[in-house]
Chain A
């Protein structure tokens, strides 16, 4: 099948398991960050900066960022191959997704490691 060359890991089963693993990581990270914000309603800059300077938070953030890259690509690939039949349209859509994910990745690392 022509569409299989643009999937994330060249294997549907592998993509499937990566999508599940990254989903669990992202769910845990979402609960972690939302929980932190809920637990600290009067959050100030110094505390926020200290939180993101913590090595464990940085590593968890990087893991979430990498999970986002995989999860978003597989998710958008599923949507592209399900709904866009014309090859040109699908190609452009996937190219835009790739560029967006690449920017998110580089920008995200810059933010997480620039604190």
Chain B
């Protein structure tokens, strides 16, 4: 057996097609949301505690650094949502071919980009 056979699993050397990139981004967004649950639960808890807590939470999630966390989590949610629906459609056999998979990936990026911008408008406008 050839001991010098090429074993190329160096991920940095791969050329990833767009559907692969949208898939890994879906995982990254999932991890961001997993960590972000801390902020969501903290905000929910303090906003339901008292009128003062509600006002403080509203201020914290819509101004300053907190507004970036809100926008970031909304963006991760938007992407995970859109890419997740793509996954569910693929489970139904829609968008599984090489060509339609590419279109689905492009659509995922465009649709989530629109939602990310709208989330920014919602948070800051």
Residues of A within 8 A of B (CB): 20, 23-24, 27, 30, 34, 38, 43-46, 48-49, 52, 68, 72, 75-76, 78-79, 97, 100, 104, 107-108, 111, 114-115
Contact = CB atoms under 8 A, between A and B. Distances in A.
A108 B41 contact: yes
Contact of A104 (B37, B81, B85, B88): B37
B45 A107 contact: yes
Sorting the interface of chain B by its residue count into under 10, 10 to 19, 20 to 34 or 35 or more gives 20 to 34
A100 B48 contact: no
A48 B48 contact: yes
Nearest to A43: B58
B55 A45 contact: yes
Contacts of A23: 84, 87-88
B34 A75 contact: yes
Interface string B42-61: 00110110110011001000
